[in-house]
Amino acid sequence: MEEPVIVPVILSGGSGTRLWPLSRKAYPKQFLPLLGEESLFQATVQRVSCLADYGNPLVVCNEDHRFMVAEQLKQLGVAAGGILLEPVGRNTAPAVACAAVQACVLDEEAILLVMPSDHVIGRHEAFVIAAAAAARAAEKGHLVTFGVVPDGPETGYGYIKADRDGESLDETGDLAVWPVAQFVEKPDLATAESYVESGDYFWNSGMFMFRARAYLEELERHAPTMTVPTKTAVEKATIDLDFIRLDAEAFSDCPSNSIDYAVMEKTEKAVVVPLDAQWSDVGSWSSLSDALEADEGGNVTSGDVIVRDSHDSYLRSENRLIAGIGLDNLVVIETADAVLVADKDKVQDVKEIVNQLKNAGRPEETHHVRVYRPWGSYETISECQRFKVKRILVNPGAALSLQLHHHRAEHWVVVAGTAKVTRGEEDLLLTEDQSVYLPLGTLHRLENPGKIPLEIIEVQTGSYLEEDDIVRFSDVYGREKSAS
């Protein structure tokens, strides 16, 4: 009998608001290199790509992040088994259901390893052992959740109580596998202390393993209103470049719920595999600080930072020098357009600041100064009434859409690389220190035909300089006639 294929399912729909101002809605934490050169998403992909007998990952993400997912997979040289685009957010249960339906098309007996894209696992070998035990349990029809062995009474996580009265369900493996007795919500400190002392409780990691078919059967049993919309969303999905666009009408009809509430807390097939692998969900600035190496004073610094007489603080500079004196238990995060200063014990409240920015309609809630596009990025250097100056980076081989503007003219100066410019009926090739003027209403396109990034300075002049003054005529990324 052939071994069932194990399909990693990477959930990448989060916004990471508690890591603002570094993580923002348009560029959330999973795509940021917070702990090294790779992003958290890339580290998750790498974690499963090196495992034997695993298929190519299925990624579930939202529309706005699709090109980031594709580009970061490309950087790793990893081919996706599919990139499923959610038209709206409906939490984890429907997202995994769509991935399960898609996996069953390839293999009715497929096993899914479901992982959030933004978690950290420090001990890879321990993860491999836990995944092997989970796979054996999943083959027997169990729905497996990974329970993190707690290293303290954490009040920020939900807990899983294992039923340890009987024998382990996996007698041949290196790890015990226990039936789940109970899922419990985030406890207060005294309750969390009692959980850890008992030895029967684990942190809820949000990671799962089960046969795709078994999950869909339990979803039908415990949350039947989800099954038809998710199945229809996949059946009516359309292919767009490298992406699978779930049918918007069907998926929008699906109720919103998590795997835990919809299935795992109700099924009789739930089991827990202990995971002791230096796991973290990097859910706050304090937990990110804990995952990094501190100096003698307990301080963690990143970027251009100088500290004196300071203790147990995390200072991160993205652009400018941070000088800290006499700091104690603080978080200081500097970006080009925002600075966060918070007590480490209050960092969970950062999301309230983000809500305040959202309610005020401020751009800092959503975008960085540098805005990422499928072809590269741009950032505004200076702007005033009737003019704006941008720095534009175009990836090798990439091209902006063929477009025109009704309210502005543009002047491009090549700083580095080679630019192929379409201006009306002309095609121009520009190198460093050369420039081109694009009058208002002129059809134009910018391309990078070279092997190195193209950098240009763009000077806009006109009566209206916002991003929605773009009319697209041709776009290799399939975008509509908008600025997205």
71 lies in some domain: yes
Closest CA to 207 of 276, 145, 123: 145
**Domain end residue (candidates: 218, 246, 280):** 280
365 lies in some domain: no
How confident is the model at residue 15, as a pLDDT? Answer: 83
384 lies in some domain: yes
Q: Tokens representing 428?
A: 């121009």
Residue range of the domain that includes 469:
370-474
C-alpha–C-alpha distance, residues 10 and 44, integer Å: 8
Q: Do 104 and 143 share a domain, yes or no?
A: yes
**Residues in Cβ contact with 224 at an 8 Å cutoff, skipping those fewer than 6 apart:** none
Domain harbouring 410, CATH code: 2.60.120.10
Single-letter residue type at 455:
E
Q: Do 83 and 194 share a domain, yes or no?
A: yes
Q: Do 129 and 28 share a domain, yes or no?
A: yes
Predicted TM-score (pTM) of this structure: 0.89
How confident is the model at residue 440, as a pLDDT? Answer: 95
362 lies in some domain: no
Residue 299: how many other CB atoms lie within 10 Å: 19
H-state helical runs in 140-188: none
C-alpha–C-alpha distance, residues 387 and 411, integer Å: 11
Name the strand (E) or helix (H) holding 246: none
Q: What are phi and psi of 223, to 5 degrees?
A: -145, 60
Q: Do 141 and 239 share a domain, yes or no?
A: yes
Q: Do 346 and 214 share a domain, yes or no?
A: no
C-alpha–C-alpha distance, residues 303 and 314, integer Å: 11
Task: Please list the pLDDT of the chain residue by residue as tens digits (484 residues).
Answer: 567 789 999 999 888 899 999 999 999 999 999 998 999 999 999 999 878 778 999 999 999 999 999 999 999 999 999 999 999 999 999 999 999 999 998 889 999 999 999 999 999 999 999 999 999 999 999 999 999 999 999 988 999 999 988 767 765 666 789 999 999 999 999 999 999 999 999 999 999 999 999 999 999 999 999 999 999 999 999 998 889 999 999 999 999 999 999 999 999 999 999 999 999 999 999 999 999 999 999 999 999 999 999 999 999 999 999 999 999 999 999 999 999 999 999 999 999 999 999 999 999 999 999 888 889 999 999 999 999 999 999 999 999 999 999 999 999 999 999 999 999 999 999 999 999 999 999 999 999 999 999 999 999 999 999 989 999 998 888 765 444 4
3-state secondary structure the chain: CCCCCEEEEEEECCCCHHHCCCCECCECHHHCCCCCCCCHHHHHHHHHHCCCCECCCEEEEEHHHHHHHHHHHHHHCCCCCEEEEECCCCCHHHHHHHHHHHHHHHCCCCEEEEEECCCEECCHHHHHHHHHHHHHHHHCCCEEEEEECCCCCCCCCCEEEECCCCCCCCCCCCCCCEEEEEEECCCCHHHHHHHHHHCCEEEEEEEEEEEHHHHHHHHHHHCHHHHHHHHHHHHCCEEECCEEECCHHHHHCCCCCCHHHHHHCCCCCEEEEEECCCEECCCCHHHHHHCCCCCCCCCEEECCEEEECCECCEEEECCCCEEEECCECEEEEECCCCEEEEEHHHHHHHHHHHHHHHHCCCHHHCCCCEEEECCEEEEEEEEECCEEEEEEEECCCCECCEEECCCEEEEEEEEECCEEEEECCEEEEECCCCEEEECCCCCEEEECCCCCCEEEEEEEEECCCCCCCCEEEECCCCCCCCCC
C-alpha–C-alpha distance, residues 266 and 260, integer Å: 8
Domain tally, the chain: 3
Q: Do 100 and 21 share a domain, yes or no?
A: yes
C-alpha–C-alpha distance, residues 139 and 170, integer Å: 11
361 lies in some domain: no
Q: Do 344 and 386 share a domain, yes or no?
A: no
Name the strand (E) or helix (H) holding 366: none
Q: Do 84 and 190 share a domain, yes or no?
A: yes
How confident is the model at residue 484, as a pLDDT? Answer: 42
C-alpha–C-alpha distance, residues 258 and 62, integer Å: 16
248 lies in some domain: yes
End-to-end CA distance of the chain: 49
Q: Do 103 and 21 share a domain, yes or no?
A: yes
Given a contact cutoff of 8 angstroms between Cβ atoms, the answer to whether 35 and 291 are in contact is yes
Establish whether the linkage from the previous residue to 21 is cis, with ω within 30° of 0.
yes
Task: Report strand pairing: 201-211 vs 111-116.
Answer: antiparallel
C-alpha–C-alpha distance, residues 226 and 247, integer Å: 14
How confident is the model at residue 394, as a pLDDT? Answer: 97
Q: What are phi and psi of 125, to 5 degrees?
A: -65, -40
**Domain end residue (candidates: 227, 250, 280):** 280
1 lies in some domain: no
Domain harbouring 259, CATH code: 3.90.550.10
Closest CA to 49 of 21, 72, 15: 72
Q: Do 200 and 296 share a domain, yes or no?
A: no
Closest CA to 56 of 106, 121, 127: 106
Closest CA to 85 of 32, 13, 6, 7: 13
**Domain end residue (candidates: 232, 264, 280):** 280
Q: Do 89 and 148 share a domain, yes or no?
A: yes
**Residues in Cβ contact with 98 at an 8 Å cutoff, skipping those fewer than 6 apart:** 60, 84, 86, 230, 233, 234, 246, 251
Closest CA to 82 of 108, 112, 118, 53: 112
**What 3-state class would DSSP assign to 40?**
helix
Q: Do 14 and 159 share a domain, yes or no?
A: yes
364 lies in some domain: no
From residue 157, alpha-carbon distances to 23, 210, 355 in Å are: 21, 23, 22
